[in-house]
Amino acid sequence: MKAARLILITVFALLVALPCWSSEQVRLKYVGTIYTDESGVQLKSPEGVTVTDNFIYVADSGNQRILRYELSDGRPVSETIFPVAKSYPLMVRPDSKGNMYVLDGKNRRIDLLSPEGAPRGSLDPKGLPDDGKVVPRSFALGGDGTIYLLDIFSQRVLVLDGRGQFVRGIPFPPKHGFFSDVTVDRQGNVYLLDSVEAVVYRAFKGEEEFSALSESMKDLMNFPTSIAVDNSGRIYLLDQYGSGLAVVSSDGSFLGHKLSMGWSDGMLYYPSQISIDQEGNVFIADRNNNRVQHFSVVD
């Protein structure tokens, strides 16, 4: 009897120690891959990708250019090339008018390009409450043109209006590892990704501080560096060193780990950024495989 009781206690302890898995299921279906531009030039270490209703924007970092692909039925059909020879583009985000915001990893700034690719200077935050230096690690654009800038120097997310005017700052949580990405959902809620601790933080629209949405998931993934939120509120974390994709529910519970390391279509090798559109199309900058991969979410 004592032995049976001991077994039951051990099993219960193991169950309690396991991560919280939701019954919600998410599957990814491989759709296609972008390897080259229309002239056959191979993508080289692409760091960033962003999908909108009509276009895919690729930061083709190693080739020092931005590629804009037009979408037809969710698939890229043609592209425009914008050289950015004096910078190293890490990500590109378009606003509602087609202007492009490009994070330059070489000069640590956000450059502005017109829809035709003409330079329009750099983003210069105005009206900051201090004169501290701004070092952008990532940024996101809200549907209303608001800019959310992840500033690793002042350890806060700067919220700016479309003209770059300071609106407010949301400080980093007191205890954290390293924040690598920020995103905003359609309701205006801001999400912050701690890569070292594998924790997702959230500040609801208008809030002045971040709260932990999830517990640490560093035993379930290896240095997630990019975050995206779909229309259902599910959170996707691109696991750079683990070469995979983790999915988290809107309440912070872990839904599973997708994809794996490899070189074949549908596999990843040190990916760098993820983007999701309204229809559930997922695009991943598969950096060390020199390509951008397209998946769709299957509920």
Domains of the chain as residue ranges with CATH: 36-234 (2.120.10.30)
pLDDT at 8: 35
Measured from the Cβ of residue 52, the count of other Cβ atoms closer than 10 Å reads 16
Of the candidates 208, 204, 187, the one whose C-alpha atom is nearest the C-alpha of residue 143 is: 187
pLDDT at 299: 72
Q: How far is the C-alpha of 75 from the C-alpha of 114, rounded, in Å? A: 24
CB-CB contact of 162 with 146 (8 Å):
yes
Beta strand segments in 195-277, E? 199-203, 211-212, 224-229, 235-239, 244-248, 254-258, 273-276
pLDDT at 264: 96
Radius of gyration of the chain (CA): 20
Of the candidates 222, 227, 225, the one whose C-alpha atom is nearest the C-alpha of residue 272 is: 225
Burial category of 246 from C-beta neighbours within 10 Å (exposed 0-12, middle 13-18, buried 19 and up): buried
**Which DSSP symbol is given to 144?**
T
Q: pLDDT per residue over 116-168, tens digit each?
A: 999 999 999 999 988 778 999 999 999 999 999 999 999 999 999 999 999 99
CB-CB contact of 239 with 257 (8 Å):
yes
**Which DSSP symbol is given to 43?**
P
pLDDT along the chain (299 residues), means of 10: 40 36 74 93 98 95 97 85 95 96 97 96 93 91 96 96 95 94 96 97 96 96 96 95 95 94 96 95 97 92
Dihedral sign from CA coordinates of 126, 129, 132, 137: negative
pLDDT at 10: 35
pLDDT at 63: 98
| Token pair listed for 70 | 């037009």
What percentage of residues in the chain have a pLDDT greater than 90? 83
Using CA atoms in the order 170, 196, 257, 201, what is the torsion angle rounded to 10 degrees? -20
What percentage of residues in the chain have a pLDDT greater than 70? 92
pLDDT at 20: 41
pLDDT at 6: 38
Backbone angles phi, psi at 4, to 5 degrees: -65, -40
Specify whether the backbone of 116 is left (phi greater than 0), alpha (psi in -120 to 50) or beta. Answer: alpha
**Which DSSP symbol is given to 261?**
B
Residue-by-residue DSSP string for 149-173 = EEETTTTEEEEE-TT-BEEEEEEPP
Using CA atoms in the order 237, 239, 245, 249, what is the torsion angle rounded to 10 degrees? -30
pLDDT at 121: 95
Amino acid at 184: V
